[in-house]
Structure 1
Amino acid sequence: MYRYQGTFYLVKSYFRLLNGDFPRIETIIDIRKIYDQLYRDFILEDNRPDGAFFRSRQLEVDFGGQGVKMTLPADEDDLENKIDHWLDFISDKNIPYLIKGSAAFGTFMDLSPFYQGNGLTARYIFSAYLTRKLDPLTGLNFSRQLLKNHESYSNSLQEFIDRRNFAEGSFWSDRYYL
């Protein structure tokens, strides 16, 4: 039952994009609304956010299931502060939109504000962004291609979130967090 309902809300959310109904992301509340819209009645109680908006406990993440585990801190106030900086970053009109969208996607995954569903939430937000900026085919195909090329996606994500990387994406996102 949970999987069927979850798929229904996910398809409904992507269908809205085709109709030009793009989510506004200006506050922490907007991010939580998107998460709730995607996962309504789908996430089991143990995995639901237990803080005001996000997770409040430590989270161990294994990006790509390759045994490279990261422990993300449990400080919800710090997480909210970083999400506020992320919101400033995605609102900066001086950054080229593809660089900004890609860096925002990777940074959201790095922050992982929820216990479960960070990848789907980030993919949906980036798909909505690409649909608005480019076209529906590109935006809607993005999430599918990531899943289809999961190993390459996981490797790229691990490289992006590596603080020793100093690549272009790290530069753009880190200037908002330092």
Structure 2
Amino acid sequence: KYPSLKGIYYSNPDCYEEELSNRLNNFSTRFSKLKIHPFNVKAKRRIKEKTYEIFYVPTAEIDLLKEQIFYNSKEISKQMTNLPSVANDQLFFNTLIFELQSTNDIEGIRSSKKEIGEAVDNVINKSLKEDKRFEGLVKQYLKLNNGRFNSINKVEEFREIWNELVGDEEKDEMPDGDLFRRAPEEIIDGDKTIHEGDENEKEIINDLQSLLEEMNGHYLPSIEKCFIAHYFYEYIHPFYDGNGRTGRFIACSYLARKLDILTAVSLSSTIAENKDYYYKPFMEMSNVYNHGDATFFITRMM
């Protein structure tokens, strides 16, 4: 068992500082270079006076989960090569439709399999009929199946992805800054504020630049890096709306380079079936007593 630092603080506070020091100074601990401010749920604000660098401890559980992920992916690829190309395409399209419906469902956006299926047909057949809802979403995911991945090298490209992915659906929530939102944004669950995104566009751009360096760097293993980046993007919350869909797409695009395409485009559908299991580690990550320890978050995502 790898207990959370928050759990240790409440169950055995006398050992908290020693355990924190052990983790931060452990020879195997990996640091991300990404820095966050913890969030105080009661005060409904970030604790700006505290800054933590996101880190994780590569536990035996993470190693075993990662090995299983790569094994499963290899098996799926092997099975797919034994299918006729028509069956392969149908399998991908069915998985994609379920994925796109799931990414919408998570955000409370109503969409049917039929509606998304028609958008897929429109894009594939380059139909000149009137545009269908979600065609932008479909186009971006279809690129992954053709081996065309979004390589993000500039901060401006996060906005380009938003435009292409959800811009047509979010005309009422267009960013009011040069690239991103200008005003503060809170994430509310029921009547409770559970997160506060970056305060202004300048802060968003600075954090996205740090995220780019982490995503394109070579100092963290690929799967762990993907999940830390996914957390940090949602932590920044660069837009008024569409952050979840763009964040999951970016993670999906990255996973498609490392794993088989079906695993990559099953991210949102898996999350939709396990929402509480997915959202809890986001809350844990921003807890002041967890000090930026992403070990629990990475384990859950794996």
1:16 matched residue in structure 2: 143
2:232 matched residue in structure 1: 107
2:159 matched residue in structure 1: 32
Q: Work out whether 1:50 is the aligned partner of 2:176.
A: yes
Q: Comparing both structures, which one devotes a greater share of its residues to helix?
A: 1
2:220 matched residue in structure 1: 95
Query: Once the two structures are superposed, what CA deviation does each residue of 1:104-153 show, in whole Å capped at 9, x if it has no partner?
Result: 00010011000001111110000010011111011101122112211211
8 Å contact kept, 2:198–2:236: no
Q: Work out whether 1:146 is the aligned partner of 2:245.
A: no
8 Å contact kept, 1:90–1:104: yes
Tell me whether 98-107 or 33-42 shows the greater mean CA deviation.
Answer: 33-42
Give the distance between the partners of 1:51 and 1:167, measured in 2 at CA.
Answer: 29
1:61 matched residue in structure 2: 187
RMSD across aligned C-alpha pairs, in angstroms?
2.1
Percent identity between the aligned chains? 29
1:130 matched residue in structure 2: 255
8 Å contact kept, 1:49–1:55: yes
Whose RCO is larger (CA < 8 A, sep 6+)? 2
SS at match of 1:164: helix
Query: What is the aligned length?
Result: 167
Query: Once the two structures are superposed, what CA deviation does each residue of 1:81-109 show, in whole Å capped at 9, x if it has no partner?
Result: 11111111111112101110000000100
Q: Work out whether 1:159 is the aligned partner of 2:284.
A: yes
How many angstroms does 1:163 deviate by?
A: 4.3
Give the distance between the partners of 1:102 and 1:15, measured in 2 at CA.
Answer: 22
8 Å contact kept, 1:102–1:169: no
Give the distance between the partners of 2:207 and 2:224, measured in 1 at CA.
Answer: 19
How many angstroms does 1:73 deviate by?
A: 4.3
Query: Once the two structures are superposed, what CA deviation does each residue of 1:33-87 show, in whole Å capped at 9, x if it has no partner?
Result: 1111101311032x1111111110010112x658343333432111111111111
Tell me whether 117-126 or 35-44 shows the greater mean CA deviation.
Answer: 35-44
Give the distance between the partners of 1:66 and 1:125, measured in 2 at CA.
Answer: 29
Under a length normalisation based on structure 2, what TM-score does the superposition of the two structures give?
A: 0.51
